[in-house]
């Protein structure tokens, strides 16, 4: 029988009504036998996430202040959910353990993890599924880093004979039992590691949007949603700011080729976005999968005659940046020119010394820094095989009267990176979208 791991995010489990929707989705397909849950999120825009209330309790306790109020909000929220679900579950002992922890030795990760822990208890009771505490299987090393391989072995063993289980997302534990969490949104990661451990056929990530959009809806009006995207395309778009799930959630499933399906708990009939190892063979979808971008870049432009014959010139330049802890994003080169695009916030504190060191060590004719740049990534594996996509992109930008400051095509030919002035950013994205995605 196919096995699906389903992960529900905080907005999908924010109230009893939302939990009922999630349960109906789970019950509608018997393959959905492993369930990973977030803590209850916001019910509306004015609400507070349970995880944020837990952090607040911890901060107050650490400061020696009274934490009764946020703790009562957490207790009331779970009580309301339990009552409305009509289950008999008493969380009083758990709440007392949390109170004692806060009074004695408050720890942020332990506190943050309790939202997922309690919610998994509630949902396993409601579904009649088993409960597996992530602290038993998800392992963090003594230095706080996640141990993927030991975790995989533990989870595979713990779930080998399980038929229906709820696992709390977001946390695990060190060997001494100390609880550690992933970074915010980390239940996505737990979902992926459970999917890998049980050899799932599919990892469904249920959220509050019907998949990933081809462009940022704050910039492009009503962008179309993406039906298929490869792991690598997703990585390129996510790196440039498009977000649909936790970045680290792709690696565990990518390793073993399990597809991810982003779905909407509030619109379960929508197919959502499939994140796949490779596009289906007869796929006739778009050449360009999506556009994303970021502002806040600077370009360090260096010119020197005969640079091409000076071995190690580029290496020295990058080494100067590395010695100032500045990561570089792109590095377009000409015969006698080289530019390095870096984040302005990395460069700003050391700008003078970087420029001085470049002058002193490389003796260029020109070294100058240009700020206020935006980088736009146009991503699509289909671009490799189609003629004219790049021409279409550049024509669209030029028709919009925008000056392109930099072009960089990734060696995979899966992305074209375009640098423009920040003031042209939104207009450039819109014109590219209209010319190569909407009409694709």
**Contacts to ligand ASP by CB under 6 A:** 9-10, 38-39, 49, 51, 115, 169-170, 184-187
Nearer to ligand ASP, 7 or 32 (CB): 7
Nearer to ligand ASP, 190 or 289 (CB): 190
Cα 7 to Cα 23, 123, 191, 262, 436: the distances in Å are: 12, 12, 6, 10, 33
342 token code pair = 């870096």
With 0-12 / 13-18 / 19 or more C-beta atoms within 10 angstroms meaning exposed / middle / buried, residue 270 is middle
Contacts of 13 (CB under 8 A, 6+ apart): 19, 22, 37, 38, 39, 40, 41, 119, 123
Inter-residue contact 110 to 101 (CB < 8 Å): yes
Shortest distance, position 113 Cβ to ligand ASP, whole Å: 9
- For residue 313, give the nearest of 367, 351, 375 by alpha carbon: 367
Nearer to ligand ASP, 182 or 297 (CB): 182
C-alpha neighbours within 13 Å on the C-beta side of residue 84: 13
Tokens 């599919």 identify what position? 202
Euclidean distance between CA atoms 435 and 428, whole angstroms? 11
Shortest distance, position 187 Cβ to ligand ASP, whole Å: 3
Shortest distance, position 16 Cβ to ligand ASP, whole Å: 18
Euclidean distance between CA atoms 354 and 372, whole angstroms? 18
Nearer to ligand ASP, 110 or 313 (CB): 110
Nearer to ligand ASP, 10 or 392 (CB): 10
- For residue 194, give the nearest of 220, 167, 222 by alpha carbon: 167
Shortest distance, position 266 Cβ to ligand ASP, whole Å: 17
Euclidean distance between CA atoms 257 and 277, whole angstroms? 6
Nearer to ligand ASP, 10 or 382 (CB): 10
Shortest distance, position 190 Cβ to ligand ASP, whole Å: 8
Shortest distance, position 19 Cβ to ligand ASP, whole Å: 15
Shortest distance, position 191 Cβ to ligand ASP, whole Å: 9
Nearer to ligand ASP, 95 or 111 (CB): 111
Nearer to ligand ASP, 185 or 380 (CB): 185
First to last CA, the chain: 38
Shortest distance, position 71 Cβ to ligand ASP, whole Å: 17
Nearer to ligand ASP, 109 or 424 (CB): 109
Give the distance, in angstroms, between the CA of residue 186 and the centroid of all CA atoms in the same chain.
9
Nearer to ligand ASP, 192 or 418 (CB): 192
Strands (E), 38-138: 130-131
Euclidean distance between CA atoms 234 and 241, whole angstroms? 11
Euclidean distance between CA atoms 91 and 168, whole angstroms? 16
Euclidean distance between CA atoms 56 and 52, whole angstroms? 6
Nearer to ligand ASP, 51 or 435 (CB): 51
Shortest distance, position 186 Cβ to ligand ASP, whole Å: 5
36 token code pair = 């990973």
Shortest distance, position 38 Cβ to ligand ASP, whole Å: 3
Strands (E), 97-193: 130-131, 165-168, 171-173, 179-181
Neighbouring CB atoms inside 10 A of 5's CB total: 30
Euclidean distance between CA atoms 231 and 212, whole angstroms? 13
- R_g (Cα) of the chain, nearest Å: 25
Shortest distance, position 81 Cβ to ligand ASP, whole Å: 15
Neighbouring CB atoms inside 10 A of 18's CB total: 21
């Amino acid at each position: 029988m196919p096995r699906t791991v389903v992960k529900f995010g905080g907005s999908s489990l924010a109230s009893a009504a939302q939990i009922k929707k999630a349960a109906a989705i789970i019950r509608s397909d018997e393959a959905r036998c492993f369930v990973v849950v977030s803590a209850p999120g916001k019910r509306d825009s004015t609400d507070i996430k349970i995880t944020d209330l837990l952090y607040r309790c911890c901060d107050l306790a650490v400061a020696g202040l009274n934490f009764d109020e946020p703790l009562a909000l957490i207790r009331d929220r779970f009580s309301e959910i339990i009552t409305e679900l009509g289950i008999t579950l008493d969380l009083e002992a758990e709440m007392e353990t949390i109170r004692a922890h806060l009074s004695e030795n408050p720890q942020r990760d332990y506190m943050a993890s309790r939202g997922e822990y309690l919610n998994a208890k509630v949902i396993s009771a409601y579904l009649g599924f088993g409960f597996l505490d992530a602290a038993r299987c998800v392992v963090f090393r003594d230095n706080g880093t996640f141990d993927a391989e030991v975790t995989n072995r533990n989870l595979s063993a713990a779930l080998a004979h399980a038929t229906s289980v709820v696992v709390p997302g977001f946390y695990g534990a060190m060997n001494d039992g100390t609880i550690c969490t992933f970074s915010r949104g980390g239940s996505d990661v737990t979902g992926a590691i459970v999917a890998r451990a049980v050899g799932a056929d599919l990892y469904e990530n249920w959220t509050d949007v019907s998949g990933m959009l081809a462009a940022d809806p704050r910039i492009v009006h009503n962008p179309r949603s993406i039906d298929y995207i490869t792991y690598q395309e997703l990585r390129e778009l996510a790196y440039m700011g498009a977000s649909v799930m936790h970045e680290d959630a792709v690696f565990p499933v990518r390793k073993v080729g399990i597809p991810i399906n982003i779905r909407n708990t509030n619109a379960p009939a929508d197919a959502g976005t499939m994140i796949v190892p490779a596009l289906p063979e007869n796929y006739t979808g778009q050449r360009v999968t999506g556009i994303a971008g970021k502002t806040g870049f600077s370009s360090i432009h260096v010119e020197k005659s005969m640079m091409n014959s000076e071995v190690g010139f580029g290496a020295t330049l990058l080494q100067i940046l590395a010695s100032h802890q500045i990561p570089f994003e792109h590095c377009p080169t000409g015969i006698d020119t080289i530019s390095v695009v870096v984040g302005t916030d990395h460069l700003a504190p050391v700008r003078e010394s970087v420029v001085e060191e470049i002058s002193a060590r490389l003796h260029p004719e020109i070294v100058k820094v240009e700020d206020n740049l935006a980088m736009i990534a146009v991503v699509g594996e289909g671009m490799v095989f189609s003629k004219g996509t790049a021409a279409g992109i550049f024509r669209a930008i030029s028709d919009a009267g925008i000056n392109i400051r930099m072009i960089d095509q990734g060696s995979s030919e899966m992305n074209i990176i375009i640098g423009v002035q920040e003031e042209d950013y939104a207009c450039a994205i819109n014109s590219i979208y209209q010319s190569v995605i909407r009409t694709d």
